[in-house]
Amino acid sequence: MNYFTLDQLSEINSGHDHPAKFAVIGDPVAHSLSPQLHQPALNELKLDCRYIRVEVPEGQVNEALEKMYAAGIRGINVTVPHKLEALEACHQVDPAASSMGAVNTIVFNAAGQRTGFNTDGPGFVRAIREEFGMDLGDLRVIIIGAGGGAGRAIATQCALEGCPQLILANRTLEKLTPMREELTRLAQSEKLEGPRDRIEIHSLDDPILEEAIGASELIINTTSVGLKSSDPAPFPSHWVEPHHLVYDTIYNPSRTHLLRDAESQGARIANGLSLLLHQGTLSLEHWLNKDAPVDAMRQGLLDFLKA
Ligand code: ATR
């Protein structure tokens, strides 16, 4: 097994020269790519410690965090399905993570107190800068699949960045109404520039979607449609035009149906590898308080995916 269970936490360092200091929790967790990102970074920084996976059943996140701190773990990544439970298990939560309703990074202080962050949103800002050389806050954005976890994090970041247009689309429209209320509240309380109370919401079958996409500069897919190679695009991809930037948060397969069609229509495209990378670089920076070795982390990911 490439992960530890809660019962095995007392043994995480037996037979190892270097102690486990960082970990990802999830259920399932065996396929998490976080070790491929973070171990090369720890090696590059010569920190002589390990990054491990820990399988944590739902409802046991608080207990798991206590045990992991006792076992010497000092920084945590959180993956599905624990991002809300992790938020509730933190002593302090970054306000942006609260608005996103999810924590994916936990830092322990010397007394074992936990502070929660969400690096998916800020990681997306870095990803857009790297892929397209643009600031997210300057772009007119539409998010397809805004009702999911990734969609909500990115939508919140767009509001924080003050994007001049923010259109949220989702198959299930009802999920977007409370999200728009939360984002409007956030925009008002933080006195944010940008869409404020002009955040539009649409279902994926709303006839206005074609026009909404046409009016956008950045189209983001945060649905799970595309995870299977046989999946269609999540909306009619002939709506994509050459002026569009199209970001698909899916990275495996590396080119979804949407990205293939968008590229053939002359749009600039990017897949979710840069988001995976940069949510990780930001996590590491929260734990270590220093710049992440981005190239080592990117190489770790690419080596793994190539293999
Ligand atoms: P995560 O939290 O990891 O982002 P999720 O909560 O399962 O994943 O969300 C997946 C997103 O993909 C949601 O926006 C979901 O739409 P619903 O909110 O309507 O469920 C979207 N999605 C999944 N399958 C879809 C499909 N066949 N067509 C359109 N959207 C789909």
- Taking only the tens place, the pLDDT of each residue in 67-123 is 999 999 999 999 999 999 999 999 999 999 999 999 999 999 999 999 999 999 999
Closest residue (by CA) to atom 2 of ligand 1? 149
Q: Which atom of ligand 1 is nearest to the CA of 223?
A: 12
The domain ranges of the chain are 4-118+277-306, 121-271
Closest CA to 6 of 56, 76, 69, 45: 56
**Ligand 1 center to residue 222 CA distance, Å?**
8
Domain 121-271 has CATH 3.30.420.40: no
Q: Beta-carbon neighbour count of residue 66 at 10 Å?
A: 13
Note the pLDDT of residue 73. Answer: 97
Q: Which atom of ligand 1 is nearest to the CA of 80?
A: 3
Note the pLDDT of residue 63. Answer: 97
Q: Which atom of ligand 1 is nearest to the CA of 249?
A: 4
Catalytic residue among 67, 83, 228, 290: 83
Q: Which atom of ligand 1 is nearest to the CA of 224?
A: 12
Split at pLDDT 50, 70, 90, the class of 195 is low
Q: Which residues contact 71 (CB under 8 A, 6 or more apart)?
A: 9, 10, 12, 13, 20
CA-CA distance, 269 to 247, in Å (whole number)? 6
Whether residue 231 has its Cβ less than 6 Å from ligand 1 = no
Whether residue 150 has its Cβ less than 6 Å from ligand 1 = yes
Selected from 2.60.120.620, 3.40.50.720, 3.40.50.10860, 3.30.1540.10, the CATH number assigned to the domain covering 4-118+277-306 reads: 3.40.50.10860
Note the pLDDT of residue 47. Answer: 97
Residue 192 has pLDDT above 80, yes or no: no
Q: Would you state the structure tokens that stand for residue 211, as one six-digit string?
A: 């026009």
Whether residue 149 has its Cβ less than 6 Å from ligand 1 = yes
Average pLDDT rounded to a whole number, residues 280-292: 98
Mean pLDDT of the chain: 96
268: which strand partners?
A: 245
DSSP alpha helix (H) spans, the chain: 34-44, 61-70, 83-88, 95-100, 120-132, 149-161, 176-189, 209-214, 257-264, 273-288, 294-306
Closest CA to 166 of 96, 205, 101, 219: 219
Closest residue (by CA) to atom 16 of ligand 1? 171
Average pLDDT rounded to a whole number, residues 192-212: 87
Closest residue (by CA) to atom 31 of ligand 1? 223
Is there a common fold for 4-118+277-306 and 121-271?
A: yes
Average pLDDT rounded to a whole number, residues 233-259: 97
Query: Residue 27: CA atoms inside 13 Å, Cβ hemisphere, count?
Result: 15
Q: Do the Cβ atoms of 166 and 195 come closer than 8 Å? A: yes
The CA–CA distances, whole Å, from 292 to 3, 41, 45, 50, 125 equal 24, 7, 9, 16, 16
In the chain, how long is the greatest CA-to-CA distance? 61
76: which strand partners?
A: 23, 106
Closest residue (by CA) to atom 22 of ligand 1? 223
Q: Would you state the structure tokens that stand for residue 298, as one six-digit string?
A: 């990117």
Of 223, 227, 228, which is best to mutate to test ligand 1, by the most ligand atoms within 8 angstroms of its C-beta? 223
Whether residue 148 has its Cβ less than 6 Å from ligand 1 = yes
- What type of residue is 1? M
Q: Which of 21-25, 99-103, 197-201 has the lowest mean pLDDT?
A: 197-201
